Amino acid sequence: MSAMRHLLDLCKRRGFLFQSAEIHGGLRGAYDYGPLGVELKRNLSQEWWNAMVYQRSNVVGIDTAIITPPAVLKTSGHVDQFTDEMVDSRLSKERFRPDKAPELKLIEPTAVTTSPVLPITAPDKITAKAWEHEIRTQFAKGALITRKGKEIQLQVERMEKNKIILKKDNNHPEAETNLQIPYHGYVDPNSNSPFLTESRPFNLMFKTYLDPIDPIDRVISTALTSERAGQDKATTRQEVDKTLYPSLTYLRPETAQGVFINYATVQRSHPHLKVPFGIAQIGKSFRNEIRLEHAIFRTPEFEQMELEYFVAPWEAGREFELWRQSRMDWWRYYARNPAKVRERAHAQDELAHYSSGCVDVEYLFPWGWGEVEGIANRGDFDLKKHSEATGIKLQYTDAALLQERQQREKSSGVKEVSKEDQDRERFIPHVVESSCGLNRAMLAFMLDAMEVVDDQGRVVELEGGETEDSKGNSAGKSKSSSSPLRTIMKLHPRLAPVKVAVLPLVSNNEDLMKVCQGISQSLRQELQVNVALESQSTTVGKRYYRMDEIGTPWCVTVDYETLQDQSVTIRDRDTGSQRRVRIDEVLDIVQDGLRLQPRRKQLL
């Protein structure tokens, strides 16, 4: 069982994550968050908000509209430039980004093959047979091909700079004299197939229309009129776009633009905010991704946690360095395995044209390092572009410096004309941005927290892939052992969906249940946290294990002794240790464990 498959099975079984519209066949790339998933996501976003807004005096929040007019995204460059290159596999029909695709893999020659072999892997034997027929009849007529199960093997004569030269099957009646396959440095990620279309741009934004009348009628009418006029396809498309433009809107591809277009409004309504200051936002964004992968890692609908931090131009470099360190500290604080979090600086050719620096925070997922947050020095590009498009000056005025200069001029009677001074009094702020994917963060922290142990408590290492092994091993069984496995989700207590579980030793005893309800209610009221009352008719040990599986840090067991001396047993998830405490100590223990850094030593 792979780590990813194990986690997804647990998520579905325990109510973290479900396939959206599953009873109707599901929707690829769409997920619903169950009772535990929504709590984890909420806690994670709250910890981000606390670090970015509540722990700072110069950051405020905002919540902007998802539906965005074209003018905003035209100004920001998204309409014209927010594209990825897209390639289709001629065999699998899958689409993918060439910059994310792997290089060709060849099997080195042996004494039997005498030349390199290009293996193409199909999902199954039936598909492999169909693909072999397509290759023989369409893509490489007369190539020397063999098939072994679901793997198709092509004999390679040699590799050249931009092409693969295949060996000819001299017994084939229609063998081509020159079997060349174009090769641009990448292949189909799933099959290793080099039979691909040419790359082409693909806009990532979702269009929609604000119109009480179905726009399709206007599309049909415009197209028919264009056809009768004998116009070509390109002209017809222009006419259709012109007809639809008045009602055209987009689902926002990022939350940042909502902050930039509200910069002046926020500054005007909160005059106490002095540069540097920030505007934070958590909200949904939408991107028409070419390739959806790794469950909630890459989906068309996702949530972003973003901060736009407005700084003086001469302070941008220093603030960028401070923020990159601050964000790395945040990630490593909540991670159980800080070594699985790293920072990767963008090379010069990766940077956006307006950016002078960018780093990604990456987590080591089962499939490799993946971005979970980006910190960028965006310069003044966004505010300047929106200012140019609207004619509204999106400047910052340092009132203190301006007043000081005016007083000096009044005293001396001489007008100061220093451009350097004027540039410091009024300027378009530069922006340091922190953009974190909430869904990706949730996936990273769950994988990081997940620990699988056998019945002796020994940690079991799961595979790094995302699929079941060839024998179809499922969650709860080790690939190398028949002994049952159990999962402990060692989430940071502040992230855990359920903070405390209160367990009566016997669920049908009214006196024990009354005490449990009192403890639960006290914790909920005093700490404002999610508390579970675990009253199922099963052993306390099994109930402990269920709570371990969803990441509950503390379990409190009420037994018959409790009725005599007002003491309970409290158990720590991570160590499994238990101790007897008074009922009135439970609140202090939990409260202490939920404190922000520096965290106190646990009382257990």
List domains and CATH numbers for the chain. 37-79+253-447 (3.30.930.10), 86-200 (no CATH), 206-251 (no CATH), 498-593 (3.40.50.800)
Mean pLDDT in residue range 500-526: 94
Identify the top-confidence range among 18-27, 309-318, 470-479.
309-318
Percent of the chain at pLDDT > 70 equals 93
Query: Which pLDDT value is given to residue 526?
Result: 94
Mean pLDDT of 150-171: 88
The residue among 142 and 278 whose pLDDT is bigger is 278
Nearest residue to 361 (alpha-carbon basis) of 328, 319, 318: 328
Residue-level pLDDT at 173 = 64
What pLDDT score was predicted for residue 531?
96
Query: Which of 287, 307, 306, 308 shows the shortest CA–CA distance to 383?
Result: 308
pLDDT bin (cut points 50, 70, 90) of residue 174 is: low
What pLDDT is recorded for position 83? 80
Confidence of residue 469 (pLDDT cuts 50, 70, 90): very low
Q: What is the pTM (predicted TM-score) of this model? A: 0.83
Per-residue pLDDT, 475:
37
Question: Band of the pLDDT at 214, cuts 50, 70, 90?
Answer: confident
As a three-state string, the secondary structure of 507-532 is: CCCHHHHHHHHHHHHHHHHHHCCCEE
Integer-rounded Cα Rg, in Å, for the chain is: 30
| pLDDT of 483 | 61
pLDDT of residue 546 exceeding 60: yes
Quickly tell me which residue has 């409290």 as its tokens. 570
Between 8 and 471, the more confident residue is 8
Return d(Cα 476, Cα 490) in angstroms, integer: 18
Residue 113 confidence (pLDDT): 66
Q: At what angle do helices 3-14 and 540-550 cross, to 10 degrees?
A: 120
pLDDT band at 598 (very low <50, low <70, confident <90, very high): very low
Predicted local distance difference test score (pLDDT) of residue 597: 61
* Per-residue pLDDT, 455: 83
Greater model confidence, 42 or 462:
42
pLDDT value at 376 more than 90: yes
What average pLDDT does range 374-380 have in this prediction?
A: 95
Chain position carrying tokens 């991704």: 289
359: Cα within 13 Å, side-chain hemisphere = 17
Q: Compute φ and ψ for 369, nearest 5 degrees.
A: -70, 135
C-alpha 443/C-alpha 449 separation (Å) is: 10
pLDDT band at 217 (very low <50, low <70, confident <90, very high): confident
For residue 406, pLDDT over 90 is answered with: no
Q: CA–CA separation, 591 vs 578, rounded Å? A: 18
Mean pLDDT of 270-277: 92
Q: How confident is the model at residue 602 (pLDDT cuts 50, 70, 90)?
A: very low
Contact criterion met (CB below 8 Å) for 152 and 122: yes
CA contacts within 13 A on the Cβ side of 369: 10
Using 50, 70 and 90 to split pLDDT, how confident is the model at 427?
A: very high
In this predicted model, which residue has the larger pLDDT, 161 or 579?
Answer: 579
pLDDT at 177 over 90: no
pLDDT at 603: 43
Whether 502 and 534 have beta carbons less than 8 Å apart is answered as yes
pLDDT given for residue 175 in this prediction: 58
pLDDT at 400: 83
DSSP 8-state class, residue 417: -
Position 480 pLDDT exceeds 50: no
End-to-end CA distance of the chain: 34
pLDDT of 474: 36
Question: According to the model, what pLDDT value does residue 465 have?
Answer: 52
- Coil, strand or helix: which one is 86? strand
Q: How confident is the model at residue 1 (pLDDT cuts 50, 70, 90)?
A: low
What's the whole-number mean pLDDT along residues 480-503? 87
Cβ-contact 601, 516 below 8 angstroms: no
pLDDT at res. 10:
93
Mean pLDDT, the chain, integer: 89
